[in-house]
Amino acid sequence: MELLISAGLIVAIVLWGVVAPDSLGLVFDTALATITRNFGWFYLWVVLGLVVLALVLAFSRYGDLKLGLEDDEPEFSIGAWFAMLFAAGMGIGLVFWGVAEPISHYGAPPPGIAPHTPEAANAAMRYSFFHWGLHPWAVYSIVALAIAFFQFRKGGSALVSTAVMALPWAPLQRIGPVVNILAVIATAFGVAASLGMGALQINSGLHATLGVPVNEGWQVGIIVVTTVLFITSAVSGVARGVKWLSTFNLIMAALLALAVFVLGPTVVIIDTFTNTLGSYLSEFVRMSLRMTPFRDSGWVSGWTVFYWAWWVSWSPFVGLFIARVSRGRTIREFILGTVLAPTLAAFVWFSVFGGTALHLEIMQGVPIADAVKADVSTALFVMFDALP
């Protein structure tokens, strides 16, 4: 019944978008603006709370508890496990926004900072770290931990509602079906958004390298091919197709980052990582709770609150997958692997790509900012063209 209701709602929304796209867009835009404007504070507190909870659990006595029976061993090696975490959690997002977000913040920085200044460049990198660092991974980690704990230690089902149904308060237990329905809908539209974002970037890459036209026909074709690959990987099982595809994806991403690191301004990249990590740590609490009550600015709601809502909406899908591949690991190992390690990888990625892009924009006059304004998906390839 839950699946039928979820499918019915998804079909209804899709049909609405086909028949009256402007109407659907207006409703969604209004809903998003209302939520981010009136409940932004709530997202900031909840997500920061999840970061604190994750770190407390990792370094408390509960960290030694195993997700599974005491004699269960991890199904996957550390390398394969991390590759699957990376692919499920952020894969295409890092590629898409690795250049575009720092450049966007450089031209339109947080309130109180003048655009196109050294301060704007520093803030651009700091907020890129912030939006893709500890906070999103803590959301994924806590959701996955709750599912894995009650599934593998308490014998619950592999559903998002497993943790809710295990709570002792009866009224909360009754919302289990609603949680499952919302999880299915969020997963469906989250996957659709990621496919669309990936198709835009792949189409832009094909245009830059092969002269392929940028249009909806090519983008639909890319989505179809990607979907077929995804289904093939899923059907072959996590231990085969998903693991192999994730490992290949991580290797290719690492080689790409290494190439930019070597061909780009290597010392600048290292300096960017060092400087931004320091400012991220020193400004951590301030950024985590930053609102602008006395300034008419939509920057925080348009970026930070939107990202937090995005990560929360993705957490059922990513959480279920992370739980599936994490049986046999201790809570400490699980949190360190799902929060700290991916965060460090994201920091390195943004330092390499964002740092290089800002250097080319500021020091060499490469018009990456103009490319971002015209078409965000082209930013990465404009940067590539400027490298030796």
Helices 243-263 and 341-363: crossing angle in degrees, nearest 10, is 30
Transcribe 48-63 into DSSP letters: HHHHHHHHHHHTSGGG
pLDDT of residue 289: 96
Cβ proximity of 73 and 162 under 8 Å: no
Phi (first) and psi of residue 330, to 5 degrees: -75, 160
- Average pLDDT over all residues of the chain: 86
pLDDT in the model for residue 197: 67
Q: Which residue from 328, 366, 361 is spatially nearest to 115, judged by alpha carbons?
A: 361
Would you call 325 exposed, middle or buried from its count of C-beta atoms within 10 A (0-12, 13-18, 19+)? buried
Q: Please tell me the distance from the alpha carbon of residue 155 to that of residue 149, in angstroms, as a whole number.
A: 9
Most confident of 243-247, 306-310, 316-320: 306-310
Which one, of 99, 127, 110, lies nearest residue 307 by Cα? 127
pLDDT band at 212 (very low <50, low <70, confident <90, very high): confident
pTM: 0.88
Q: Report pLDDT digits (tens) over 117-148.
A: 999 999 999 999 999 999 999 999 999 999 89
Average pLDDT over residues 355-369: 96
Q: Give the position of tokens 């450089």.
A: 106
Q: Which residue has the higher pLDDT, 341 or 71?
A: 341
Residue with the larger pLDDT of the pair 279 and 247 = 279
- Scanning the structure block, which residue is given the tokens 């909870």? 53
Greater model confidence, 316 or 282: 282
The percentage of residues in the chain with a pLDDT greater than 70, rounded to a whole number, is: 90
292-306 burial, b at 16+ Cβ within 10 Å, e below that, comes to: eeeeeeebbbebbbb
**120-129, 158-167, 358-367: which range is least confident on average?**
158-167
In this structure, are residues 164 and 179 in contact, taking their beta carbons and an 8 Å threshold? Answer: yes
Q: What's the mean pLDDT in 176-204? A: 73
CB 89 within 8 A of CB 140: yes
Across 117-131, 174-188, 240-254, which has the greatest mean pLDDT? 117-131
Q: How far apart are CA 345 and CA 236, in angstroms?
A: 28
Q: How far is CA 184 from the centre of its chain?
A: 18
- Mean per-residue pLDDT, 194-204: 74
Distances, alpha carbon 237 to alpha carbons 218, 295, 338, in Å = 29, 51, 21
Rounded distance between C-alpha atoms, residue 222 and residue 228, angstroms = 10
Q: Which element (helix H / strand E) includes 327?
A: none
66 φ, ψ to 5°? -100, 140
